[in-house]
Amino acid sequence: MSTGTVVVRESNETQIRIGLAEPNVEASIATTEPFLDHMLVALSRYSGVPFNIQARGDLRHHLIEDVAIALGQAFAAHIPATCARYGERTVPMDDALVQVVVDMGGRPYYRGPLPAKLYDHFFRSFADNARATIHVRVLRGTDRHHIIEAAFKALGFALREALVETGAVFSTKGAVKLDITGGAR
């Protein structure tokens, strides 16, 4: 995965800045939503993709959704054409057991659900904007915190596996080139 992408998303509802950092740099996350910060730190650590996020918003829903959109866009801009493309991980966390499977091949799709609407929406918004297929299966668990955290960690591990540079394009159609430049959205 290359480095140096910065995504800035500003609206009347949210102000977000996301930068994908250099390898071996600790994540810096500050969204004003402590649980979201906790999940994003886990996602950064387990994916092996350090990122910095500064975000604030008028409503919790807007903040969580817009961070997912901007983070997905940052990942989309950095998916190597010769990445492994596919990743899968099942993560246990106390009573929870969650499996996440990803395909970074450019086709947005999300299948859940997670037992918290806002975080289910986070995964859907991230998948749409990263142009990734993400399947989440909650195999067991009753504690919503444990289920959501296991899902973020499993997503991180699956992304780590999928984004490994292989030197080969894993598609019969060849590499899909995507060029994103700055500008208003």
At 17-27, the pLDDT tens digits run: 999 865 566 67
Q: Is 8 left (phi over 0), alpha (psi -120 to 50) or beta?
A: beta
At 70-80, the pLDDT tens digits run: 999 999 998 88
Q: Is 11 left (phi over 0), alpha (psi -120 to 50) or beta?
A: beta
The tokens for 139 are 């195999």
Alpha carbon distance 38, 26 (integer Å):
13
CATH number of the domain located at residue range(s) 6-162 in this protein: 3.30.230.40
pTM of the predicted protein model: 0.89
Average pLDDT over all residues of the chain: 91
pLDDT band of residue 121 (cuts 50, 70, 90) is very high
Evaluate whether 70 touches 182 at the Cβ level (below 8 Å).
no
Q: Is 157 left (phi over 0), alpha (psi -120 to 50) or beta?
A: alpha
* DSSP for residue 21: P
Find the range with the poorest average confidence among 79-83, 91-95, 147-151: 79-83
